[in-house]
Amino acid sequence: MTEPLAPGSTIGILGGGQLGRMLAMAAARLGYRCHIYEPGAAPAADVAAGWTQAPYDDVEALTSFARACDLVTFEFENIPAAALERLTSLVPLFPDRRALEVSQDRLTEKRFLRDIGLATAPFGAVDGPESLGHALSETGMPAILKTRRFGYDGKGQARIADMNEAKTALATFGGAPAIAEGVVPFSIEISVIAARGRDGSVSAYDPGENVHEDGILSTTTVPARIPPGLKTDAVLIASRILNALDYVGVLGVELFVTADGLVVNEIAPRVHNSGHWTQAGCAVDQFEQHIRAIAGWPLGDGSRHADVRMENLIGDDVHRAVALAAEPGVQVHLYGKGEVRAGRKMGHVNRVMR
Ligand code: AMP
């Protein structure tokens, strides 16, 4: 194994939200400095050594950011291609661009998953109203129409029961390319968080069971209520994705549990909200695991020493933080965001249950 990144080196993080903040804190524990690149407000910058506040098309800012960093990673997917082009010509990026290209576009992502032999919802490309007929013949009805790019937390998607609804939904996307997906008859949703090191070693955490409210993750509970065979399947699925992408870092895979086994919903090439439980359930949490992977350290083993329920504090939920902190076994994480807004992730708690 090559030497890990030297102590005192600087890790650049594209994106300055809570994921970047928790990555920066983990990096600090391993002796690194972090430099955040974020055009907007940056809770991550409060705990980092540096912050470039500039848009993603500012070539000069990108260049000096890259020069200030020994390697760069990211905490969100929608980084413009031109910015990536510029950065990767100057500094190593982990995980590399391919992971972003696959996950930035739901159609590319589904095709990639299908090509490596994994089960997905039936799907069809929707480039405009004229392709709806063909796409919906692939998916059947009801179906879900999603924008191919820039969708998150259930945004940019609509359930449709017939062609009229499909046309109406598509019109609300304002001409953005879309994908139609068949509705997967799932019993529960789970996710698996896994990491791959620079030497190709893989380590996976136990799958967590996810509950969403209004399209936003509400809770993740480990262990998920699934038989041991499905746990193995989840880990194998994540490993196959990691290897196929020659991936370095932490990846989240969202899965539907169905009567016929696991169906992949989507992949996130980064630390993931449904992996926050690892902060209270594992010796090495997903944030440290990501830093270890990209910096060339040995990976943590991922084994779980406690049952945990993670609950997101969304909008006004944040006002419960102090009361929750008084409960036994509860770990509180606040993201340092100024303004409380409905639907905004303000923090989370990890409740150790056993
Ligand atoms: P996504 O943004 O693709 O993760 O979708 C948000 C949520 O919508 C998922 O967590 C599921 O609860 C639901 N969903 C998305 N796609 C499908 C599908 N093809 N079949 C059933 N439910 C879905």
* Ligand 1 atom at shortest distance from the alpha carbon of 155: 2
* Residue-level pLDDT at 126: 96
* Residue-level pLDDT at 174: 86
Rounded distance, CA 125 to CA 108, Å? Answer: 10
What's the CA-to-centroid distance between 318 and ligand 1, angstroms? 26
CA distance to 20, 66, 86, 98, 155, per residue, from 81 (Å): 20, 15, 9, 11, 22
Instruction: For helices 163-172 and 132-139, give the axis angle rounded to 10 degrees.
Output: 120
Is 266:210 a contact under the CB 8 Å cutoff?
Answer: no
CA distance to 38, 263, 266, 268, per residue, from 119 (Å): 35, 5, 11, 17
What's the CA-to-centroid distance between 125 and ligand 1, angstroms? 17
120 ligand 1 Cβ < 6 A: no
The DSSP result for 301-313, as a single string, is ---B-S-EEEEEE
How many CB atoms sit inside 10 A of residue 235's CB? Answer: 20
CB-side exposure of 91: number of CA atoms within 13 Å? 24
Is 192:242 a contact under the CB 8 Å cutoff?
Answer: no
What's the CA-to-centroid distance between 235 and ligand 1, angstroms? 20
What's the CA-to-centroid distance between 55 and ligand 1, angstroms? 31
* Residue-level pLDDT at 175: 82
179 ligand 1 Cβ < 6 A: no
Identify which of 136, 190, 265 to mutate to test ligand 1's pocket (most ligand atoms within 8 A of the CB): 265
Is 164:151 a contact under the CB 8 Å cutoff?
Answer: no
- Mean pLDDT, the chain cut into blocks of 10 residues (354 residues total): 90 98 98 98 98 97 98 94 94 96 96 98 96 96 93 78 94 91 98 98 98 96 98 98 98 98 97 98 98 98 96 98 98 96 97 90
Question: In what helix (H) or strand (E) does residue 180 lie, and over which residues does it extend?
Answer: strand 178-182
* Residue-level pLDDT at 2: 75
* Both tokens assigned to 340: 């409380």
Rounded distance, CA 184 to CA 353, Å? Answer: 31
Domains and CATH numbers, the chain: 10-93 (3.40.50.20), 122-182 (3.30.1490.20), 188-352 (3.30.470.20)
* Residue-level pLDDT at 1: 54
156 ligand 1 Cβ < 6 A: no
Question: In what helix (H) or strand (E) does residue 210 lie, and over which residues does it extend?
Answer: strand 208-213
Q: What is the pTM of this model?
A: 0.96
